[in-house]
Amino acid sequence: MEPGALHYGYTDASEFMNARRRPYTADEDIHRLRFVPANAASRETWLVNFNAHTVSMGADTRSVTGDYIYYMEQRVNEAAGANFQMIHGAISAVGRAMPSRLYTPGLSRVDAMAAYGHALGDLLIGINNDTAVAPLLNIRHMEYRLPVTNMLHMLLFRLRMIEATGVRRHIIGPDIDIITETAYMELGNDLAIVFGPGEICPALLVGPSIPASEAYTGRPFEFTPLNQMARDGRRTIMFGIINDHSGYYQLPNDTMHFLQFGNEEINKTSTEAAAGLLRAMERIIDSID
Asked if pLDDT for residue 27 goes beyond 70, the answer is yes
Strand partners, 167: 177
Please state the pTM of the whole predicted model: 0.92
pLDDT of the residue at 289: 76
Q: 125 falls in which pLDDT band (50, 70, 90)?
A: very high
C-alpha to C-alpha distances, 23 to 18, 189, 247, 277, nearest whole angstrom: 12, 31, 19, 19
Share of the chain above pLDDT 90, in %: 71
Q: Nearest 10 degrees: CA dihedral of 99, 103, 107, 112?
A: -20
- HEC profile of 4-17: EEEEEEEEECHHHE
Of the candidates 64, 34, 55, 261, the one whose C-alpha atom is nearest the C-alpha of residue 132 is: 34
Q: pLDDT tens digit string along 67-98?
A: 999 999 999 999 999 999 999 999 998 999 99
pLDDT at residue 283 tops 90? yes
Mean pLDDT of 48-59: 91
Q: What is the pLDDT of residue 30?
A: 98
Instruction: Decide if 99 contacts 122 (C-beta within 8 A).
Output: no
**pLDDT band, very low/low/confident/very high, at 174 (cuts 50, 70, 90):** low
pLDDT of residue 48: 98
